[in-house]
Structure 1
Amino acid sequence: MKPMLHTWGFRWVLLTFIFATFNVQYTTTTWPILHFSTIQLLGLFKDAPEDTPKPKESSFHCRAMFKAAIVLSQQYNIKIDGQYIGGQVAQTGGYPIGAISTTCSIMSNFNIVGMVGPTYSREAHIIAQYAESVGIPAISYTATDPELSDRNAYPAFYRTVPSDATAASSIVELFKRFNWTSCIIIYQNDAFGSGGAEAISHAFSENNLIVSQTVIFDLATVNIRSDLTDLLSSSSTRIVLLWVESNYTPLVLQHALDCGVLGPHFTWILRSKISLEFFNPISYPNLIGMLSIESVAGNLVSAPINTSLLNAAYQIWQQYEPETFPGPMKVNYYALFAFDATWTLIQSLQKLCSSYTNHSSSCISVVNSSSCFDRRFLQSNSLFNALNNIEFLGVSGPIKFGANSTDRIDGIYYVIQNVQPSVNGVDFLPVLQWSRSNKWTTYTLADVIVWPGNTLTLPTGFAGLAGVKLHICVIESVPFTIRTNILEQNTKKLVGYIPDLIDILQSKMGFIPHIILASSNKTYNGLIQDVENGFCHLVVGDITITARRREIVDFSSSIFDSSLRIVIRQTTSINVDLFSYLRPFSSTLWLLVLVGSIYAGILLCLLERTTNEALKNKSIISSAAMSMWYSVSTIMGYGADFHVQTAAGRLLTVGLHMLSLVLVATYTANLASDLTTLKSNYFISGIDDIINGKIPYSRIGIVIGSSLEDFYLREISHGSRNFYPLKSLQDLYISLLNNNIDAAISDTAILEYITNKVYCNLSLVGADFSRSEYGIVIPKQWIFQKDLDVIILSLRESGVLDNLKRKWFEGSLCQQSFSSYTYTSRPGRGSSSTYSPPSRNHFDYFITVL
């Protein structure tokens, strides 16, 4: 038993020494607060970080103003049930478990009827729930998480500090004022950070603004979870919102300085002002232009406050703790919120008891229990009603609460301070002020904002692409993107229309390209998904602009005009027909010509044999043969070697010449038509034959996951996937050559290049159709789109794109054996196509003659 008593005695001495040391170090005068009154208020304040030699300024100030409010209530002779209000002060450690542990310990030993605090949003959630369970109000002076605004979820919670939802609204108005459209949010991973980031993201979304990225500052590792250099330099926005507590802000800013992303190219907006003494003076130029946004008391923006109450509180603070009083102009604004929170509880208790009609019993009744969770304030409903209806002018501004929200209704003000050069280096100066009625206006003492880079020029809020690292995805597609091997260096290089275009865009816009070649099994639609998912910033290639794709991504202005065409195998076999020259006339006509020739020959023999010197001395057979020769040669237009002598013979000759004119003209026209038809006699003549099913649909090759597939399903098969699926363009060519398919549909430019320079045994057939455009794939609402479109239009107008097209698409390596004929497509299909005439009909003719 004695060792136990000795241990407890040692602990008591140690505890006494700690408290004595604390009092000697931080206070020299005892506050006249009644710790043993039956009416007590509990003040919850954060501890100093372990790595700092003393508590933070705001912690001192808030604690002092809490005590000042209680002492002032005694001076004003405010009594509850005939007693002055007392107070207890507790430090929570800044963590929920510490807050509830400390609170429970004090609640078990003192008659607490209201709480002021806690400091952090992560503590406020659990304290608000505990306050509800015991039936007493908790009024925070610094917890800003928007989730705490829900009166239904937290009926016992109130706060005198504005919610971050209000801060988010003021930030939206700030962005509209400066025409900024996007930002990056760096936030700490707790209720304060995530709640603020969520509120800002929601407000931005409702106002068509963009939170391009959110970055977590990990409280466990006290570090950012991302590569800050890569993240910020590759982002399009140059506005950074830093939503972390003030004690972590210098750490993040120093990291940004080390990464080179704090300075002329970035505008940082801090959640609160900090001391700039943390930083090396060498880095001061990079701090210039930073902004801080924080809630303030009304006196800073010339709004009405209770000056007499504030002065009285300051006098009490100076009287009982003069060594911590910084002067009226340097008191932390959260300390004023803490005073108003305390004074709100005091006023509500006074109002509760003044309206209490049963004077025979106490207006403050508490069901005591040894367990802090079993205690219960019996007049909780009346006290909450008093709080909801209380209204007074506090030291921070008007104080009033509603029944539907935990937030104060009025007296909400924000000030933006700007880091500017000063005599001592750099310092924060207020430049803008905000209230619900006036929104953002110029601060009364300043009207100039110094922006990053020590300039007065308002930043645009986003980076030009100069210096921005872009992940650009490309897909191999000859001749747009061709992969070549460099044997000397044992490396691969991309050449073609697209790499040349990227180089030109880089020289014009100054971005840093990181080229990503898509895998061989990647589809065009897969590349679209890569942009939507953020894997690629851009996709540059032969990507067709379609309405379906525009639903998930955007496109730049056209970089190439395209259409579709049909490609087939060339027919190499020659079918020899010895009598093909007879086809221009039907067999009936040939028979009539033969009969007519014989008849004309016999008639001529009868008319001329007796008078014509060439016939009368001949035998009948010889005369008949010569007459037949005369008839045939006249019809063919050649003419015989004798002349007719009689008038009837001459008349017959005229008839034969007229017949000759008709037959020769007709034969020549039909023969030319047959020759042209035979040359163009592919098994299909264009897209109409495919639509009409002239060849089986399963013999038509289509590259899957491309705009060609969409066209086929929409225009040809009406949704049926009955085509032969191809994985790539190379697969298309091989399938044609291997006779796996009879025809394929692809882009005209690619097919013209392939049939002219690579696969000479493939041919295009029919006219082009379904005209379209290629565009650079970009994310939705990409802020560089306008700049990119302007550059592309200038390249088109100056002829640069035409030069690229000539460089990569014109010319032919496949020799043409014959001169060209022009074959005009059927109406409705557009342009004409060029074909080489066949030689086989000439061959047939010569064989027959021989």
Structure 2
Amino acid sequence: MSIQNIFGTSFLDLFSTDHLYYIRGAALELINKEEVNAIIGPQRSSQARVVMDIGQKAQLPIISYSATSPSLSTTQNPFFVRTALDDGSQAKAIAAMVHTYGWHEVVLLYEDTEFGSGLIPYLTDEFQQFDIRVSSRFSISPNSANLTMLKMLNKVMAMQTRVIVVHMTSSLGAKLLLLAKEANMISEGYAWIITDGLSSLLDPMGAKVIGSMQGVLGIRPYIPQSKSLENFKRRWNRRIPSSSAKLNIYGYWAYESVWALAKSVEMVRHESSGVTRQSYRRNASQIPEIRVSTIGRMIRNKLVKTKFRGLSGEFSLVRGQLQSSVFEIINVVDKMEKVIGYWSLENGLSPELGKPVKATYSTSLYHELKPPIWPGNTKAKPRGWTTPVGGKKLKIVVPVKPGFDTYLKVKHDHYTNEFSVTGFSYDVFLEALALLPFAVPHEPIPYFIGSNTSSGTYDELLYDVKLQKYDAAVGDITILANRSQYVDLTLPYLHSHVSMVVKIKDDGRKNMWIFLKPLSWDLWLTTGVAFIYTGFVVWVLEHRINNEFRGSAQQQVGTVFWFSFSILVFAHREKILNNLSRFVLIIWIFVVLILTQSYTASLASMLTVQRLQPVVVDVNELKKNGDFVGYETGSFVKDLLVKQLHFDESKLRNYGTAEEFNEALSKGRQNDGVSAIFGAQHCVELFLAKYCDKYMTAGPTYKTDGLGFAFPQGSPLVAYLSRAILSVTENKSKMDALEQKYFSQQKACPIDVERTTVSSDGLGFYSFGGLFIVTGVASLCSLIIYFTQFVQSHWNTVHAVLDISVWSKISELVKRFDDQSPYPVPARDVNVGNSTSQSVEAWDDAGNEGADTVTRSRSNL
């Protein structure tokens, strides 16, 4: 069996025609008449699809070195062997390159053939991994006239996307690029990327075509330099000097395919080479009969296991096709191909081969590749988008309401019949749009809320967005869970919650009894009891030894009250003789000092700072009293009041402006008004800024997720705009400027007041409980120590002299307690002429009063 019979005598001529009918017939003729056992050469993907089906039935390998469409499956057709790279292998590299340069949208131009359409699903999937959107795709027939292609290019020119990926064969791609150059589309602002179907065949296109591709980026398989490759090029140039037959990657793969097949044939040569005839009838009108090769399967099995070092690198087939290793990124500059980087599955993008760069896919690190020259002979990276010449504008619906127009205000020009929009919300939206990597032309459309019977609500507005009557909704739209069920909401640009606004009570400083408010009633009562108790303890400890605490019963009671309260201002004149009394007073003075300082500070605060008290502080109180409450017309607050706070819907009234809020609250429930208004924070703040001397917030707040913008579900703009909103809100200087622009006047309150709710109960007992416990325990311990010593010193005497009952003994001890102490103590001085006499009473050891009095006189000098 000759190698000619195995390969087929005219396999190169077999695929010189594009007519698939003749290709099918020629393949059948080779198999049935020439009895070949392998076929090399389907050059196009469409040709390979026809021949691979015949090879499957004849059980002989169909080998292609240039049919690269990923739709040709080598696993589903095991007799189809691809000795070239699958086009899908370059999809990851192209997506990584687009992402690295920070582009978010691309336009795909591809050939309307099996080769062209096969790559598109793979590219789309890889772009999605990087959140890159394919804004449009255009298929071009290989037989398209120039006029047809120009019309398609005009459509691309009218779009905002300026990143164009081209996947075509060299013949159609050359024609397209020449027309794009004539249309001034390969110029500054555009980015063109060509796949390996074009970038691997630049030389055959000619100098004119290459000259029109200035600044175009391309991707193609990397071919490592080697001695065998250089030797092959020299031999090729000697034998085929024609410049039109320059070597390229497909020539290398064809050469390696022949070598691999020859090696496989040599390995099965010793086996039987006979061919059995077997009838195979699928459809009598198409394939009446086909031979089945007896060694085709063996050749195929040996072929897929063949490995060697070829001209293009390592030849190794995995699952019946050549595996990708490294791609090189080229930049067409001055009719030359400049390599600016490489891509591999292991290292991603890198400027040099084998030198991986960290954070390969970071959008901010597009310098991972060597700086290219872009279309228009500029080094400035194209931003990837521009304002479209005649593109469709997004219909942006904006809510229009009679009040609270600081956030959104719409004016109608009757002459031009156009609407102009201003306000904080719209300015934030414009700032976010400016940060997007593409233009978003839009047209504001007003949506009236709450002004008349034909107007709607915010929920109705958002439902129209769901129905795609509008492309987006911009305004003070509160982000709620139920709304996210039918629209996509961006991240919040302003945080918000729902608050209750009520009237302010009269100023407490006008109260003539305000001096009692610093201390709560229980603290007043406890303090009074503590004063009396401390005075009583001191009286007990000083009564027997100190004449200041003796006298008639009325005088002693007065002394108890006078002494304890005089300590408050440190005005007491009584001398303290007992150490236990001194201990009690040390603790008590410390307590008095803290109480007086706290009282003074609290009273001063009440007299100098206006403390605003709400008329109503509890939602339950409103419901219990059956009060009417108000809310902003058209807002979600009505649902919150009914569904979450369980208000009777008949008790709700809606108002549209701050003036209506003021009028309703001023009337109150007695005069057909409301007792409270519930509103979102951004509206409440504007209302209070205007009427801060009459109203205040009270009660708990009800959290929401803030204010955002709404889009139909699935809109790709949501993710882009959310990221842009984060950038705007994190820019403090930008946000401060916007707030100063819209809220500086509204936030100017006419009077300086403290707007927090303060309890009117003053300082409570619990705050000073520890002090009273300390002084109480100290006084009690002193009494216990004193009475223990007193009983010990008198109990034995009373017990020995009086043999009576215990009760009588206790009575006797009480009488002795009321007697004066037996120890000499200083008495009050008595002036006699120029002398001062001091009387000291002497007591015997038994406690009896002595009969004499010692008088000492001192002369006044």
CA-CA distance at 1:39 after TM superposition: 1.3
Can you list the C-alpha shifts for 1:225-246, whole angstroms capped at 9, x where unaligned?
99867767865x7543222332
CA-CA distance at 1:724 after TM superposition: 9.3
CA-CA distance at 1:414 after TM superposition: 3.2
Which of 686, 707, 712 is 1:774 aligned to? Answer: 707
Paired residues of 1:290 and 1:451 also in contact (CA < 8 A): yes
Q: Partners in 1 of 2:211 and 2:10 — Cα distance?
A: 50
Aligned partner of 1:805: which letter?
Y
CA change 1:486–1:199 in 2 (3 A) is closer
Which of 727, 736, 741 is 1:799 aligned to? Answer: 736
Aligned partner of 1:406: which letter?
G
Aligned partner of 2:215: which letter?
G
CA-CA distance at 1:132 after TM superposition: 0.9
Q: Partners in 2 of 1:343 and 1:161 — Cα distance?
A: 14
Q: Partners in 1 of 2:617 and 2:422 — Cα distance?
A: 35
Aligned partner of 1:477: which letter?
V
Q: Does the residue aligned with 2:171 lie in a helix, a strand or coil?
A: coil
Q: Partners in 1 of 2:87 and 2:393 — Cα distance?
A: 34
Paired residues of 2:498 and 2:701 also in contact (CA < 8 A): yes
Q: Does the residue aligned with 1:801 lie in a helix, a strand or coil?
A: helix
1:389 and 2:321 aligned: no
CA-CA distance at 1:156 after TM superposition: 0.9
Matches within 5 A, 1:187-198: 187-198=110-121
Which of 536, 541, 563 is 2:497 aligned to? Answer: 563
Q: Partners in 1 of 2:309 and 2:753 — Cα distance?
A: 96
Q: Partners in 2 of 1:797 and 1:432 — Cα distance?
A: 39
Q: Partners in 2 of 1:549 and 1:244 — Cα distance?
A: 46
Equivalent position of 2:474 in the other structure: 540
Q: Does the residue aligned with 2:67 lie in a helix, a strand or coil?
A: coil
CA change 1:314–1:134 in 2 (3 A) is farther
Can you list the C-alpha shifts for 1:113-138, whole angstroms capped at 9, x where unaligned?
22223233344334323321221111
Equivalent position of 2:578 in the other structure: none
Which of 419, 427, 445 is 1:517 aligned to? Answer: 445
Matches within 5 A, 1:658-669: none
Equivalent position of 1:420 in the other structure: 333
1:401 and 2:313 aligned: no
CA change 1:408–1:128 in 2 (3 A) is same
Equivalent position of 1:291 in the other structure: 217
Q: Partners in 2 of 1:95 and 1:729 — Cα distance?
A: 77
Q: Does the residue aligned with 1:136 lie in a helix, a strand or coil?
A: coil
CA-CA distance at 1:186 after TM superposition: 3.4
1:374 and 2:290 aligned: yes
Q: Does the residue aligned with 1:113 lie in a helix, a strand or coil?
A: coil
Paired residues of 2:189 and 2:382 also in contact (CA < 8 A): no
Paired residues of 1:291 and 1:417 also in contact (CA < 8 A): yes
Paired residues of 1:564 and 1:769 also in contact (CA < 8 A): yes
CA-CA distance at 1:268 after TM superposition: 1.4
Aligned partner of 1:417: which letter?
I
Can you list the C-alpha shifts for 1:325-371, whole angstroms capped at 9, x where unaligned?
4278x223212222333343333233222x31x5xxx3455548894
Matches within 5 A, 1:41-440: 41=7, 87=11, 89-91=13-15, 94=18, 99-100=23-24, 102-104=26-28, 107=31, 109-151=33-75, 153-172=76-95, 174=97, 183-206=106-129, 208=130, 210-219=132-141, 222=144, 239-253=163-177, 256-257=180-181, 261-271=185-195, 272-273=198-199, 287-295=213-221, 298=223, 301-303=224-226, 305=228, 318=240, 325-326=242-243, 330-353=246-269, 355-356=270-271, 358=272, 362-365=273-276, 367=278, 371=287, 374-402=290-318, 405-409=319-323, 412-421=325-334, 426-433=335-342, 440=350
CA change 1:711–1:39 in 2 (3 A) is farther
Q: Partners in 2 of 1:685 and 1:794 — Cα distance?
A: 37
Equivalent position of 2:680 in the other structure: 747
Q: Partners in 1 of 2:730 and 2:217 — Cα distance?
A: 38
Q: Does the residue aligned with 1:475 lie in a helix, a strand or coil?
A: strand
CA-CA distance at 1:377 after TM superposition: 1.5
Q: TM-score normalised to the size of structure 1?
A: 0.55
CA-CA distance at 1:429 after TM superposition: 3.4
Further displaced range: 373-382 or 168-177 = 168-177
Identity in percent: 16
Can you list the C-alpha shifts for 1:379-414, whole angstroms capped at 9, x where unaligned?
232122121222334343332323xx122247x553
Aligned partner of 2:702: which letter?
S
Q: Partners in 2 of 1:747 and 1:741 — Cα distance?
A: 17
Aligned partner of 1:111: which letter?
E
Matches within 5 A, 1:662-741: 687-688=619-620, 708=637, 715-716=644-645
CA change 1:306–1:245 in 2 (3 A) is closer
CA change 1:390–1:307 in 2 (3 A) is farther
Aligned partner of 2:218: which letter?
S
CA-CA distance at 1:270 after TM superposition: 0.4
Q: Partners in 2 of 1:565 and 1:795 — Cα distance?
A: 26
CA change 1:155–1:505 in 2 (3 A) is closer
Which of 450, 467, 485 is 2:412 aligned to? Answer: 485
Q: Does the residue aligned with 2:321 lie in a helix, a strand or coil?
A: coil
CA change 1:712–1:252 in 2 (3 A) is farther
Further displaced range: 486-495 or 124-133 = 486-495
CA change 1:211–1:251 in 2 (3 A) is farther
Q: Does the residue aligned with 1:200 lie in a helix, a strand or coil?
A: helix
CA change 1:346–1:511 in 2 (3 A) is closer
Q: Does the residue aligned with 1:155 lie in a helix, a strand or coil?
A: coil
Q: Partners in 2 of 1:337 and 1:752 — Cα distance?
A: 74
Q: Partners in 2 of 1:542 and 1:218 — Cα distance?
A: 46
CA change 1:785–1:250 in 2 (3 A) is farther
Q: Partners in 2 of 1:722 and 1:232 — Cα distance?
A: 59
CA-CA distance at 1:755 after TM superposition: 11
Aligned partner of 1:246: which letter?
S
Q: Partners in 2 of 1:305 and 1:711 — Cα distance?
A: 80
Q: TM-score normalised to the size of structure 2?
A: 0.55
Paired residues of 2:431 and 2:728 also in contact (CA < 8 A): no
Q: Does the residue aligned with 1:128 lie in a helix, a strand or coil?
A: helix
Aligned partner of 1:769: which letter?
T
Q: Does the residue aligned with 2:320 lie in a helix, a strand or coil?
A: coil
CA change 1:309–1:284 in 2 (3 A) is closer
Q: Does the residue aligned with 1:154 lie in a helix, a strand or coil?
A: coil
Can you list the C-alpha shifts for 1:814-843, whole angstroms capped at 9, x where unaligned?
xx9xx9999976989xxxxxxxxxxxxxxx
Q: Does the residue aligned with 1:161 lie in a helix, a strand or coil?
A: strand
Q: Partners in 1 of 2:338 and 2:59 — Cα distance?
A: 44
CA-CA distance at 1:475 after TM superposition: 1.9
Paired residues of 2:88 and 2:119 also in contact (CA < 8 A): yes
Q: Partners in 2 of 1:337 and 1:500 — Cα distance?
A: 59
Q: Partners in 1 of 2:748 and 2:151 — Cα distance?
A: 51
CA change 1:431–1:512 in 2 (3 A) is closer
